[in-house]
Amino acid sequence: MTDPAILRPTLAAPPKQRISPRAAKLITVWLRDLVVSLAISAFIIVFLYQPVKVEGTSMMPELDDQERIFVNKFVYRLEAIERGDVVVFRYPRDTSKSFIKRVIALPDDKVRIESGQVFVNGHRLDEDYVASGFTDDRSYPEVTVPAHSYFLLGDHRNMSNDSRDFGPVNIGFIYGKAVFGYWPVDKVGRVR
């Protein structure tokens, strides 16, 4: 009698599928490009431009609730903050929150508000960015903005928690300038 193991046919292992050299090169190039793209994107988001969502109505009509914008996080390393800039900063009373407001007064400026009219260094500001339906009649006593600080107000004055409530904001809390809106599509463009 013969050994049954000898009579069974042996199954050969299937041939290994090899990736062609051309396909391997294509995959390698694609992976390299993906890694480089992700690294560049991470660099841009961490150091240069950050996409953010506006939450709240304090900057209407320029910026609406839920609008998406880009914030330039690098610009103030190259140039000074200017009156009229729309800045993003950590809320001084709770640094886990970020606010967005307009720069009204610079360090050492004297600012006061009389019945809703803003005066800086004795001159009334022409605030074309504050629409008539968004003004308020509050007054604020004259203060001198401390060194390294800025007086910030929302454009929707009667709905804004701003320097009238929490005082001038130190430059250490300011981390970017709102530069470009990208959503919704009808609001695409430079933030002014």
Q: Walk along the chain (192 residues) in steps of 10 and give the mean pLDDT of each run.
A: 57 71 90 93 83 95 95 94 97 96 98 97 96 92 98 96 97 96 93 92
Pairing of strands 68-72, 49-53: antiparallel
Active-site residue, 58 included: yes
For residues 147 and 108, the answer to whether their CB atoms sit within 8 Å is yes
Q: Give just the sign of the alpha carbon dihedral 99, 102, 103, 105.
A: negative
Please tell me the predicted confidence (pLDDT) of residue 12: 61
Please tell me the predicted confidence (pLDDT) of residue 45: 77
Tell me the C-alpha distance between 1 and 125, whole Å: 111
Strand partners, 152: 103
Please tell me the predicted confidence (pLDDT) of residue 9: 60
End-to-end CA, the chain:
97
Residue in 73, 101, 160, 163 annotated catalytic: 101
> Can you tell me which residue has the tokens 């007086």?
151
- pLDDT tens sequence across 48-91: 888 999 999 999 999 999 999 999 999 999 999 999 999 999 99
Domain extents for the chain? Answer: 50-190
Please tell me the predicted confidence (pLDDT) of residue 46: 75
Please tell me the predicted confidence (pLDDT) of residue 15: 67
- pLDDT tens sequence across 39-50: 998 888 777 888
Active-site residue, 20 included: no
25 backbone φψ class: left, alpha, beta (φ>0; ψ -120 to 50): alpha
Residue in 58, 149, 160, 163 annotated catalytic: 58
Tell me the C-alpha distance between 165 and 100, whole Å: 14
Query: CATH number of the domain at 50-190, please?
Result: 2.10.109.10
Please tell me the predicted confidence (pLDDT) of residue 23: 85
Tell me the C-alpha distance between 149 and 42, whole Å: 30
